[in-house]
Amino acid sequence: MRLKSGLKSCLIAMLVTLADGCSLLPGLYSSDHYQALLNQQLGSTYLQSGLPELAKAHLDKALALDDSNAQTYNYLAVYYQSIQDQEQAGRYYQTAMTQDPDDLEIQANYGGYLCATGHQDAGIALIKTTLDPRLNSQLWQANTQLGLCYLSQNQLSQAEQHFREALASKCDYTPALLAMQKFSYQTREYLSARGFWERYLQLGKASAESLWLALQTERALGNMPLTERYRQQLLSDFPNSQQAQQTKTAISN
């Protein structure tokens, strides 16, 4: 898994070099469309690596260069969901769906958004339409979103089934690892939650949510030195996050 983390770092470095340097080349590589695609890919990679602010910078650049690509709106919606700005996320999802209503990744993400904002039945129904393996080559993404929908309804067996299906088809898919970390914590399987957290860290940078879950997990296990370490890291790396605000009172209780 460490090798895969290194490969991801190399991919990011390569994309950054292309995004910064290809404007010096003539033809296709210097076109706004090509630069927009590079920045969009960087934004997507940074999102999966737990670096949302870096992701947003590249996605904003991609949008400025080409405002017709539905996937850029999709990834910006994912970013706003990651910082708990559901209103902005909804706007970007609606634009993405309008521009490309047949894109299965966008449909699955939008279904997950519907579940996260209290429209579970509609969200589950939409995601299920994307689960045809003949049409969808990235079933891990749809399964993760569907699992999160079921988790929000406390349908634990269905949630676990879809999370594990996602990881079976793509073992290094960080959103599914984060989902299993969350699932394991909620079901009080704390050692399992720790294991998924460690796998997540091998592939990317800690996010505010993953740190919050790790903090709560170690607290439940009675490991107070590690609990305090994660608390300090959360406050230092994500001082404005919802999780940082929560942890200021959670540890003192």
Q: What is the mean pLDDT of residues 209-234?
A: 96
Is this prediction's pTM over 0.85?
no
Using 50, 70 and 90 to split pLDDT, how confident is the model at 50? confident
- CATH of 1-101 among 3.40.50.1950, 2.40.30.130, 3.50.50.60, 1.25.40.10: 1.25.40.10
Three-class SS string for 59-113? HHHHHHHCCCCHHHHHHHHHHHHHCCCHHHHHHHHHHHHHHCCCCHHHHHHHHHH
d(CA 125, CA 120): 8
Residue 6 pLDDT level (bands cut at 50, 70, 90): very low
- What pLDDT is stored for residue 185 in this prediction? 97
Neighbours of 109 (CB within 10 A): 28
3 state SS of 150: helix
**Residue 249 confidence (pLDDT) above 80:** no
pLDDT single digits (tens) 69-80: 999 999 999 999
Is pLDDT of 159 > 90? yes
58 within 8 A of 42, measured Cβ to Cβ: yes
Q: Which residue has the tokens 């988790």?
A: 151
Q: Where are the domains of the chain?
A: 1-101
Q: Is the pLDDT of residue 82 over 60?
A: yes
DSSP 8-state class, residue 206: P
213 close to 197: Cβ distance less than 8 angstroms: yes
Residue 164's nearest CA partner among 150, 152, 154, 153 is 150
Structure tokens at 75: 């990834």
Q: Are 111 and 119 in contact (CB under 8 A)?
A: no
Q: How many CA atoms lie within 13 A of 103 on its CB side?
A: 20
Could you tell me which of 115, 79, 159, 241 has the C-alpha nearest to residue 215?
241
Cα–Cα nearest to 35, from 49, 56, 20: 20
